[in-house]
Amino acid sequence: MKKFIVWLLVLVMGLSLLAGCGQSKPAKQTEDQKEEAAVSEPAEEAGDEAAEEAEEPADEASEDKPIKAVFFANGNFGDNAYFDGNKAGMDRAGEELGIEVKSIEGGSELADFPAAIEALCESHEYDVIITLTAQTSEIVYNLAEKYPDQDFFVIDDTMAALRPNIYNAQYNQCEGSFLAGALAALVTTDTDMEGVNADKVVGAIGNNDVPVIRDFMDGFEQGVHYIDEDIEVLTAFVGSATDVVKAKDLAQTMYSTQNVDVIFNIAASAGLGILETANEVGKYAIGVDVNQNGLYPGAVLSSMLKNSGDGIFLALKRYQEGTLPMGTTELLSIREGTIGLAKDEYYEQYVPAEIREQIDAIEEKIMNGEIKVESELY
């Protein structure tokens, strides 16, 4: 009996141990679950980080998208001068910088410009909208406030006020015109040159009587009188940027009845008539904006380069690099290579060496500040 009781106690204790072991197993599973849960949280975080990392290349890709730029010309292309020169700068930016560029002819109706430029803003297609001269600066100034996320370049005007999303560049055409005036003066005083008369008279014909054209004329006259104070400078205005016939008539009068030897063309596409007349009557002319020497070699001795296309290219390059100072105005001059005289093979052939040497010396003096060209615009 005692043995039976002993075995019974052993059996009960064994069952109790088994029961205890059976309860400890779920406890162990709970710890495992906790460990699994603890492991799962970093996994989820890693998944979130991976998702974020997956999104980053998309952001970088958007940053790598090419810049889109549109040039609104307040005139027409095909002028072999100002507007073609600016378009060339846009085309160069497309070819060399990979920028997506578009150039639009705005025509000559000023009343159409505000709506046309605002339509470009409304399209939200372009990173930067580029316009020219005082004809568009006020329009852009107003639109820049309405469209603060749209960037603008206003080229070839000194704006009285700016906004943070406007870059403004003005060209020191007065310096380039000074060189043109010095060249004209050296020619009219060199009677050994064919067609030059004994009278010391030169001329300048502009398209319209506006401040920027007056600035050309002021620089031209300063250059003339730097060479010889006694040289007479005649000026006239076509009253149009496209009236070639009127420009021809003015040039004919200067050459034939006023004894002018050299005329500085500042008349945009109308000025092609001035160059043609110089060639017809055996006199001389100086081109403008782009190199027009090759149009009438020997008659067009040089051209006052206002490389506004280069200015657009340089602005877009710096914009692409993130170094363009938006909200500021810059003055571009001979030092930046955006202003100067066209010195090509025709210049070398038809302008006497002694005159070329004097022009080089004058240009150097302007660059180092020895000669200071005065302008009322800047």
pLDDT band at 40 (very low <50, low <70, confident <90, very high): very low
Specify which residues 71 forms β-bridges with.
103, 130
pLDDT given at position 44 = 42
Distance CA(179)–CA(333), nearest Å, equals 12
Question: Is 374 contained in some domain?
Answer: no
pLDDT for residue 350 is more than 60: yes
Question: Is 45 contained in some domain?
Answer: no
Residues 283 and 161 reside in one and the same domain: no
Residues 113 and 199 reside in one and the same domain: no
Q: Which residues of 246-259 are buried (b: 16+ CB within 10 A; e: fewer)?
A: bbbebbeebbeeeb
Distance CA(230)–CA(233), nearest Å, equals 9
Q: Which of 171, 199, 223 is the last residue of a domain?
A: 171
* H-run or E-run covering 52: helix 2-63
How many domains does the chain fold into? 2
- Yes or no: say if 325 and 167 are a contact pair by the CB < 8 Å rule: yes
DSSP at 218:
H
Residues 198 and 76 reside in one and the same domain: no
Average pLDDT over residues 18-42: 40
Residues 145 and 264 reside in one and the same domain: no
Closest Cα partner for 90 from 76, 82, 100, 81?
100
Question: Is 39 contained in some domain?
Answer: no
Distance CA(300)–CA(346), nearest Å, equals 9
Instruction: Look at 59 and 177; give whichever has higher pLDDT.
Output: 177
Distance CA(355)–CA(288), nearest Å, equals 19
For residue 343, report the phi and psi dihedrals to the nearest 5 degrees: -115, 75
pLDDT given at position 189 = 98
In what side-by-side order are the strands of the sheet with 339-341?
Answer: 232-237, 201-206, 262-266, 284-289, 300-306, 339-341
pLDDT for residue 1 is more than 80: no
Question: Is 250 contained in some domain?
Answer: yes
Residues spanned by the domain of 138? 68-171
Residues 155 and 196 reside in one and the same domain: no
Token pair 């398209």: residue = 207
Quick: pLDDT tens for 74-112.
999 988 888 999 999 999 999 999 999 999 999 989 999
Residue 312 amino acid letter: I
pLDDT given at position 63 = 56
Residues 262 and 234 reside in one and the same domain: yes
| CATH number of the domain enclosing 214 | 3.40.50.2300
- Yes or no: say if 75 and 242 are a contact pair by the CB < 8 Å rule: no
pLDDT for residue 184 is more than 90: yes
Q: What is the pTM of this model?
A: 0.77
Quick: pLDDT tens for 230-267.
999 999 999 998 899 999 999 999 999 999 999 999 99
* pLDDT above 70: percentage of residues in the chain: 83
